[in-house]
Amino acid sequence: MKLRILITAGPTREFIDPVRFISNPSTGFFGYQIASEAVRRGHKVTLISGPTHLAPPRGARFIPVTSALEMKREVERFFPKCDCLIMSAAVSDYRPIRARSRKIKKKKSRFTLKLKRNPDILSIIAKKKENRVIIGFALESDDLKENARRKLERKNLDCIIAASINKRKPPFGDRKIRVLIMPRAGKAETVFSSKKNLSRIILDKAAKTKYAYSGSKI
Identify the structural domains of the chain with CATH numbers, from first to last: 4-98+117-214 (3.40.50.10300)
**Catalytic option among 24, 147, 156, 197:** 24
pLDDT value of position 212 = 86
The pLDDT value given to residue 20: 95
Under a CB-based contact definition with an 8 Å cutoff, are residues 82 and 61 in contact?
A: no
User: Is residue 196 within 8 Å of residue 129, measured between CB atoms?
Assistant: no
Question: pTM value?
Answer: 0.93
pLDDT average, residue stretch 29-48: 98
Lowest mean pLDDT among 59-73, 155-169, 184-198: 155-169
The CA distance from 91 to 49, in Å, is 10
Neighbour tally for 180: CB within 10 Å: 19
- Distance, in Å, from the CA atom of 32 to the CA atom of 145, rounded to the nearest integer, reads 25
Q: CB-based burial of residue 216 (10 Å sphere; 0-12 exposed, 13-18 middle, 19+ buried)? A: exposed
C-alpha closest to that of 45 among 30, 56, 53: 56
Identify whether 24 is a catalytic site residue: yes
When the pLDDT of each residue in the chain is averaged and rounded to a whole number, the result is 93
Mean pLDDT for 163-182 is: 84
- Average pLDDT (65-84) is 98
Across 19-40, average pLDDT: 96
Q: Sort 208 into a burial class: Cβ within 10 Å, 0-12 / 13-18 / 19+.
A: middle
Residue type at 1? M
